[in-house]
Structure 1
């Protein structure tokens, strides 16, 4: 039996290899949905990720107010990227379960989502994100919170044998 992956103490998190975080960012930003939303990383460190998307009329159900699908997407990207940030090299993850609670309208200049790891295990990582609507003055207002579970995948084990 392999020992579970557990989050490192806060001091150890800040000393994780930068290449892992850079790889994570590149993988996320290569996703068509991330590009379509205009997703950008504001901050990333092991166990914590902050991303933003602009408020766009293309994703609004009325002028200036984003649909829940866009709110969900930015929250999911933040939470699951945070979960991915604590995986060892050669691993990736995928969302397997989520719940989103919208608490206020998603309106303003952009949405900022702050993802974090709640509990990291070998097979599954529980993660969460809070989504903030940011106005033109930079003021934030909580508009949603998400709790998710991500499946951790060893990409080396996922490859079919060559032969």
Structure 2
């Protein structure tokens, strides 16, 4: 089981998430914050759909990127921020259902680079279906304040 980050880290991560207008735009919320792990939940609604009725792959990528990035932020020093420098995503099933859950976790912490992974799960009628897998590299930006 993951160790809980202290309240200051949780507040720093949640405050950063609140500054992300893109997450507000798609109605995503940061549901879980633990040391090296976060979850973003997204209700599926018409505004995130594509022409076949599934959630657009770009939206799936957005929540995977943010979930894994915030997992990295839980382990970053207090005066640092984080920035995605690379990710690769495999869309393995249609994102269809009532809710998407992006589960981000740190696979290798580092002082300068942090490697993370995320999986995105579609929840439909209480059943979970894996719809995306992502691997990401995060850069730790020392003494860089977010705007």
Partner residue, 1:151: 139
Unmatched segments (≥5 aa) in structure 2:
none
Root-mean-square deviation over aligned CA pairs = 1.5
Unmatched segments (≥5 aa) in structure 1:
1-9
CA deviations over 1:2-44 (Å, ceiling 9, x no partner): xxxxxxxx66x33x31211121011112111011111112211
Q: Runs of at least 4 residues of structure 1 off by over 6 A?
A: none
SS of 2:38 mapped into structure 1 = strand
CA-CA distance at 1:114 after TM superposition: 0.5
TM-score, normalised on structure 1?
Answer: 0.83
Rg (Cα) greater in structure: 1
The one of 29, 41, 56 aligned to 1:52 = 41
Q: Is the 8 A contact 1:71 1:144 kept in 2?
A: yes
CA-CA distance at 1:55 after TM superposition: 1.3
Aligned residues: 145
CA-CA distance at 1:85 after TM superposition: 0.8
Partner residue, 1:37: 26
CA-CA distance at 1:106 after TM superposition: 0.3
Structure 2: distance between partners of 1:29 and 1:141: 28
Structure 2: distance between partners of 1:146 and 1:39: 18
The one of 89, 100, 125 aligned to 2:78 = 89
